[in-house]
């Protein structure tokens, strides 16, 4: 079953030093005060940090899952349709990757394996 907004909230808030704050009339998630995820589109998708070159590859590879909002085109963010995700593990990987991009070095140093894919 695809993850939903409650799964996003639960997983995001489980990451170290993460808080939820409403901004632009939607939930946003921040690590040490720096935003790494939002829940736009009536909470049917998330926006996460993603380097532009990776973002473009993701959108080309999986356009059903990933897209770029017009107002975010100049920024290193990508949108993810929750209904297109396979499960909580995929959502956790995406959120943890975005968290790592926003987290300060002290948190990265104290959580070196956070969000790394598990050996399958």
pLDDT at 115: 55
* pLDDT at position 118: 46
Q: Is pLDDT above 50 for 30?
A: yes
For the segment 95-116, the average pLDDT, to the nearest whole number, is 88
**Given a cut of 60, is residue 119 above it in pLDDT?**
no
Q: Distance from CA of residue 84 to its chain's centroid?
A: 14
The residues near 80 (Cβ < 8 Å, ≥ 6 apart) are 45, 46, 47, 48, 65, 66, 94
Tokens of 45: 């998708």
pLDDT digits (tens, 9 = 90+) for 46-60: 999 999 989 999 999
Q: In this predicted structure, what is the pLDDT of residue 50?
A: 96
Beta strands 34-38; 18-23: pairing state: unpaired
So what's the pLDDT on residue 41? 85
HEC string of 93-104?
HHHHHHHHHHCC
Give yes or no for residue 120 having a pLDDT over 60: no
The per-residue DSSP string of 14-49 comes to HSTTEEEEEETTEEEEEETTEEEEE--GGGTEEEEE
- What pTM, to 2 d.p., does this model score? 0.92
């Amino acid at each position: 079953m695809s993850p939903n907004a409650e799964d996003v909230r639960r997983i995001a808030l489980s990451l170290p030093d993460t808080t939820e704050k409403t901004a632009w009339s939607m939930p946003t998630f921040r690590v040490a005060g720096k935003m790494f995820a939002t829940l736009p589109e009536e909470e049917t998708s998330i926006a996460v940090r993603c380097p532009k070159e990776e973002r473009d590859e993701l959108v080309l590879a999986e356009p059903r899952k990933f897209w770029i909002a017009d107002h975010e085109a100049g920024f290193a963010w990508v949108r993810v349709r929750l209904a297109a995700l396979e499960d909580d593990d995929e959502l956790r990987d995406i959120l943890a990757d975005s968290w790592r991009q926003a987290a300060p070095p002290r948190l990265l140093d104290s959580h070196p394996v956070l969000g790394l894919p598990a050996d399958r």
